[in-house]
A and B are shown apart, each in its own frame.
Chain A
Amino acid sequence: MAGSAANNTNNTLKSLLKLFTLLAIAGAAISSRLFSVIRHESIIHEFDPWFNFRATKVLVNHGFKHFWNWYDNTSWYPLGRATGGTLYPGLMLTSGLIHNILHSINIPLDIRNICVLLAPAFSALTAYTTYLFTKEVKDARAGLLAAIFIAIVPGYISRSVAGSYDNEAIAIFLLMFTFYLWVKSLRLGSAFWGAITAMSYYYMVSAWGGYAFIINMIPLHAFVLVLMGRYSPRLYISYCSFYTIGTLASMQVPFVGFNPVGTADHMAALGVFGLLQLIAFSTLIRQHLPSKQQFDTLLRSVLVLGFVVGVAAMALASHKGVIAPWTGRFYSLWDTGYAKVHIPIVASVSEHQPTSWPSFFFDLQMLIYLFPAGVFFCFHRLSDSIKGEASVFVIIYAVFGSYFASVMVRLMLTLTPIVCVAAAVALSTLLDNYIQDPDVEGEHQVENKETDHNTQHNVSHNTSQKAFTPKNKKTKKDTSISSTREKVIEKMQEKAGIRAPDARLVVLINVVLMLIFFVFHSTWVTSNAYSSPSVVLASKTPQGETLYIDDFREAYNWLNQTTSEDAVVGSWWDYGYQLAGMAGRTTLVDNNTWNNTHIATVGKIMASPEEVSYDILRKHDVTHLLVVFGGLLGYSGDDINKFLWMVRISEGVWPDEIHERDYFTPRGEFRMDEGAAPAMKNSVLYKMVYHRFAELFGSRPAVDRVRQIQLPKKGPQLESLEEAFTSENWLVRIYQVKQPDFLGRSFKDAIAFEKAARI
């Protein structure tokens, strides 16, 4: 009685401690993401989040129906964009729901603040979900470690700081939540949990295009379990209820449409579904067949027949075109050279480049070397009947996650959760061995040694019955001699060697130091690398004060205040979302344009001489052109550095008009200064970027700080464009497209006339 009461208080204490730890972890997760809000202001960062913010504003201001059927006339001019059906609505609906709930209980929180702080809030939930997931794999101790790892690890923070209002903000939470529910429903074998997993999967499909990872990971897990011989009715029930309800629900998202039954990315799930039906059917029949041999032949013939028919049907369907092949984005993960040749837009995104080795350490620090150790410990757990299946899942996820993370930098994000889980398993196993008191350990060890010794006796005496009672009798008989011998040896080894208190202390202090370094590294990386809003740049004056470079907002504000409502702004696609969000003007192309020809048109505008681009500009009703130039500041992400991609993309569509080699000197160099190729010097982008730049430097030669070159004294002259606005540090330059001359002259003649007239 007293024992159970003490047990109860112990358990209550443990639960309370766990609760407080989880709350503290949530607090750490939220607060480590708030650097930019505290330093600058509560602003949406980067590029993509501006579009999501604009869509959320439409949802909140105009209601759900309008949002669902929204046709945006101000983007991708003149085509327009059916945004209701071409975005993943999960993020906007989540913010809209939170906004409405808060307003209904009279907390008038602004939609901008909700959007900015959504990601940190969900990161706290991600930490809790990772705790639950790791509890399924190992136990609560590893769970707590995994939760703290994912709360502050830079790999996840990079896409979920306050202000990064992007799909990944909620998608990683939903990813871990779906995986947790899957593992739980597999363990219980319940259709209820399978249905809940399907609902969570549906939420994930509505939130992020990376849901294809889930719909391939879970069938792969089921398939590996079948191959391992661990098929059970639980697997059948949980997978099938998840797959049917999940597929049906996921097709409700307009952007996904009929993909789950028609594209190759989803066919693995269908194949595993069919396989499980076959196996379940065979297992059912087994009960009715008298002999094992008959069952074996039937099973084998059914399985082989089913497999052959299934593969043939899928091959036929793919050949006929009923099943669409892998889309370019996913195919380029398999064939890494594919995108550069066939889809240059995908290849040009900096996030899609292969990952370099230092960035693994930068994003994960000590977790990256604990990760393989954790996967190794998962192999140890495979024989466990309850938690073994979760370990298989961790191993599969780890292998595929590592492959994808090494192919594309952007996919580091999907690797991070499993790295945290595996590292937590490894560290927790280490700590388990060294934290426990050796006296308690010793007794357990003695008991274990006894049963081991006695089972060896049984085997050597050839007892065919492995009944429990003979073992007990034997235990009582020869306990005395062998066990005292064991105890003596134990006592001798106890206080020395690796179990001694000083050895344990050394290991524990080492681990604590590692954890402290991890926290320092993560916070430093978050503060310095991942908390910049990209809209506002910060640098230091020679006196050490922080200097804020607010050129982007200055330019967008100028556009907003000065230009007319129906102005059309042409720029490279990177700035499309920010333009639409902050300046509120119509754009030609933005970050989501997949129409290659449209982007190639803008590329052609930038790369061609003025006569050619003026025609295109007039055809598209463009009134202003915007370029970004970092030469005065040293900002290396400007349009001149992106110029070759503009050329490549437009060359893909107009190979006879634009040639990449024309922009290189005859010797093969890519130069911007006096020796630049003539095509380069005549291109509209070059002229726009360096127009009047030399005037800044007076008598000294003009220096471009990014390319480290000197420019000729006489800068380029523009005929069909005139300068409308240049920001304070010459970062953003806006040009107005001139109306055609009122007398019908060419621009050259008109300018010459003006010059002559002035003399």
Chain B
Amino acid sequence: MTSIIGNLLHSYNNKTPSQYKLLDSFLLVLCLSAVLEFVYALCIDNTPYNAFLGSFISKVGQFILTVNLRIQSNPSNAHHFTQISPERSFADFVFASLLLHFCAISFLG
């Protein structure tokens, strides 16, 4: 099992272009922040509940949208997306993120 993970990390470091590594580090930060927040809400205090939900879901949503962007801008995936060019995927990313954060902020109350 450890050899598999070692292989994985090695291959990841070599094969991934630096732009994707940037995106991946953003994803990692989002993930850690969400986990921290969830643990805090679980153990210490989760009131006001809507504020917790708003920020947690906005992190999860931003995570997903960044993953979307990563998938869609990868040229090897182009056969899945016949009508979405990488530029279009970036526009989608911006629009969906704006909508997500608009909903999150109006939910904070």
Contact = CB atoms under 8 A, between A and B. Distances in A.
Interface residues of B, number: 38
A198 to B, nearest CB: 8
A710 B91 CA distance: 78
Contacts of B15: 287-288
Contacts of B88: 190
A449 B54 CA distance: 60
Contact of A192 (B77, B81, B92): B92
B96 A248 contact: no
Contacts of A289: 4, 7-8, 11
A240 B4 contact: no
Interface residues of A, number: 34
A294 B107 contact: no
Nearest to B49: A258
A236 B7 CA distance: 26
Contacts of B92: 190-192, 195
B100 to A, nearest CB: 5
A188 to B, nearest CB: 6
Interface string A638-666: 00000000000000000000000000000
A244 B89 contact: no
B64 interface: yes
A261 B54 CA distance: 12
A237 B83 contact: no
Given A188-B83, A191-B96, A285 B71 contact: no
B49 to A, nearest CB: 6
B80 A233 contact: yes
Interface string A64-89: 00000000000000000000000000
Contact of B99 (A190, A195, A251, A285): A195
Given A237-B71, A241-B64, A241-B68, A199 B99 contact: yes
Nearest to B95: A192
B50 A191 contact: no
A542 interface: no
B53 A288 contact: no
B74 to A, nearest CB: 9
Most A C-beta atoms less than 10 A away, residue of B15, B67, B84, B103: B103
B102 to A, nearest CB: 9
Contact of B106 (A194, A198, A232, A252): A252
B26 interface: no
Given A189-B80, A190-B92, A244 B72 contact: no
A191 B89 contact: yes
Interface string B32-67: 000000000000000001100110011011001101
A409 interface: no
Contacts of B57: 244, 247-248
Contacts of A190: 81, 83-84, 88-89, 92
A298 B95 CA distance: 35
Contacts of A245: 61, 96, 99-100, 103
A290 interface: yes
A248 B80 contact: no
A234 interface: yes
B81 A234 contact: yes
Nearest to B71: A233
Contacts of A232: 80
Interface in A173-231: 188-192, 194-195, 198-199
Nearest to A297: B4
B50 A192 contact: no
Interface in A274-289: 280, 285, 287-289
A298 B8 CA distance: 11
Given A234-B80, A244-B61, A285 B8 contact: yes
B61 A248 contact: yes
B7 A290 contact: yes
A249 interface: yes
Given A245-B96, A245-B99, A233 B60 contact: no
B4 A258 contact: no
Nearest to A283: B71
B13 to A, nearest CB: 10
For B7, B71, B77, the residue with the greatest tally of chain A CB atoms inside 10 Å of its CB is B71
A192 B100 CA distance: 11
A233 B104 contact: no
Given A240-B67, A294-B4, 20 more contacts: A188-B83, A191-B89, A191-B95, A191-B96, A192-B92, A195-B99, A236-B68, A236-B71, A241-B65, A241-B96, A244-B60, A244-B64, A245-B100, A245-B103, A247-B57, A248-B57, A251-B107, A252-B106, A287-B15, A297-B4
* Top 4 A-B pairs, shortest CB-CB distance: A244-B61, A288-B11, A191-B92, A192-B92
Interface of B: 4, 7-8, 11-12, 15, 49-50, 53-54, 57-58, 60-61, 64-65, 67-68, 71-72, 77, 80-81, 83-84, 88-89, 91-93, 95-96, 99-100, 103-104, 106-107
